[in-house]
Structure 1
Amino acid sequence: MTAPAHALTRGGALTIRELTVGYGGAPVLHRVGFDLAPGEVVALLGANGAGKTTLLRTLAGLVPAASGTVALDDRDLTTLRTEDRARRGLALVPDGQSVVAELTVDENLRLGALWRHRGAARERAVAGVYEMFEPLARRRTSAGHQLSGGERQMLALGRALVADPVLLALDEPSLGLAPLVVAHLMSTLRTAAAERGLTVLLAEQNVTSALSIADRGVVLDLGRVVADAPAAALAADETLRHAYLGF
């Protein structure tokens, strides 16, 4: 895959090597390793319990690695705190939609931009999210708890994007959403990757949707990488689809 020209200068290259992670001494990830190129969209696939969420939480610094390394643009993140990884340009949108229910849409977005932008730059970042997600522009004074599920997911994604990350990791963003909303979110992710040079790691059980926008797919099974191939090749591999992807 050839990254967009602007992505080559913007950064976003992720390198995972020999990553082992466990809870209470029981390994969940076993020597996981793969790379993401700047501007690349990679679908992280696998059944429940495969280790997708653990991997994303480890990348964000929410779960410590037992061994192995994580690097972003050749800078080692492995022992950094979560907030320091965010400052390096890594943003995580966790499963469950990270929206502050008591704050308005506008307040949520400004909170997301707080440490990254000031003044006019923050206004431009927030305006860019409203342009990307028109439903949010119409609901900017509504509290988070007043939004539909699709609007909350748009807001969670918008909060991550206003911080201008170079790497965006998302955990099951389509969960519980209507098909039309899922299609819009996936299209927006693909557009953001192309226009911003944003690197995207997308953990999804909606395999068809994820592969439709991904350049590559990485398949986990019981904490191990069992496939790493172009999205079209994974979608066409009937044996692998039946064994690991459930379709």
Structure 2
Amino acid sequence: MSALACEGLTVGYGDGAPVIDGLDLGIAEGAVVALLGANGAGKTTLLRALAGLEPVRTGRIRLGGRELTALSTEDRVRSGLALVPEGRSVVVELTVDENLHLGGLWRHKPKARKAAVEEMYALFPPLDRRRRAAGHTLSGGERQMLALARALLARPEVLLLDEPSLGLAPKATAQLLGVLRETAARTGLTVLLAEQNVTGALSVAQRGVVLSLGTVVADRPAAELAADPALRHAYLGF
């Protein structure tokens, strides 16, 4: 059974043409899957639909066999699905420490929450050094680490990441993707990673799924996908 699956998923905005059109996708438990495609391919729309932020016209979404399609975003989070959206969503008026405690508020009792926050500091040393810093003073890389740490505090079964490397320097990107790969390997976390940084995404994923106009045009092992020049040129721009 897939950790996350959708069948015949169709999603669109208003009365317009569908952005996601009859899409089938299954992600095995513990897998890191790179979701690739040009701008407008439907990557963000798919993640938002999976997270319950966009209504589904037709189709089904399941998490470990549980039906999610009709659930609210909050109930999907409580079921084990977490989304880190594009844009490094942190509360910029709060400190790093306050953001993290807020992220673990509903999942942990106070003593357990404190221990979980300390785990995040161990995982992201740059955040440990900036515990008392306000969110608006963080660099782009630090904000993305904080957004990822907040999501991990909820102990998700499946993590959806939308363009985590957007706007980051290469060093910060490498550090962030390295932490993601190590966390998934250590904990068995299932990850669907939407990225424009194709090389970086394929370096941490076991599998790559390429979207074009809301449909899957390729679904292959990451190494095989990276080595296919015709596919890369046609859909990935390199």
Q: TM-score range by the shorter chain?
A: over 0.9
Contact 1:12 1:39 (8 Å CA) reproduced: no
Query: After superposition, what is the alpha-carbon deviation per residue over 1:14-39, rounded to whole angstroms, capped at 9, x for unaligned?
Result: 01111000101221000111111111
Contact 2:92 2:136 (8 Å CA) reproduced: yes
Instruction: Determine if the alignment matches structure 1 residue 22 to structure 2 residue 3.
Output: no
- Equivalent residue number for residue 193 of structure 1: 184
Q: Give 1:151's aligned amino acid.
A: E
Q: How many residues align structurally? A: 237
- Equivalent residue number for residue 38 of structure 2: 47
The CA distance in 2 between the partners of 1:150 and 1:12, in whole Å, is 32
Q: Give 1:136's aligned amino acid.
A: L
Instruction: Determine if the alignment matches structure 1 residue 13 to structure 2 residue 3.
Output: yes
Instruction: Determine if the alignment matches structure 1 residue 100 to structure 2 residue 81.
Output: no
SS in structure 2 at match of 1:42: strand
Structure 1: gaps spanning 5 or more residues? 1-10
1:218 Cα offset (Å) = 0.5
The CA distance in 1 between the partners of 2:115 and 2:188, in whole Å, is 18
Query: After superposition, what is the alpha-carbon deviation per residue over 1:140-175, rounded to whole angstroms, capped at 9, x for unaligned?
Result: 111100101110000000000111111000000000
1:12 Cα offset (Å) = 7.5
Instruction: Determine if the alignment matches structure 1 residue 134 to structure 2 residue 125.
Output: yes
Q: TM-score, normalised on structure 1?
A: 0.94
1:206 Cα offset (Å) = 0.2
Q: Give 2:224's aligned amino acid.
A: A
State the superposition RMSD in angstroms. 1.0
SS in structure 2 at match of 1:150: helix
Structure 2: gaps spanning 5 or more residues? none
Structure-to-structure mapping, 1:220-235, within 5 angstroms: 220-235=211-226
Contact 2:12 2:19 (8 Å CA) reproduced: yes
Contact 1:12 1:167 (8 Å CA) reproduced: no
1:121 Cα offset (Å) = 1.4
Identity %: 67
Q: TM-score, normalised on structure 2?
A: 0.98
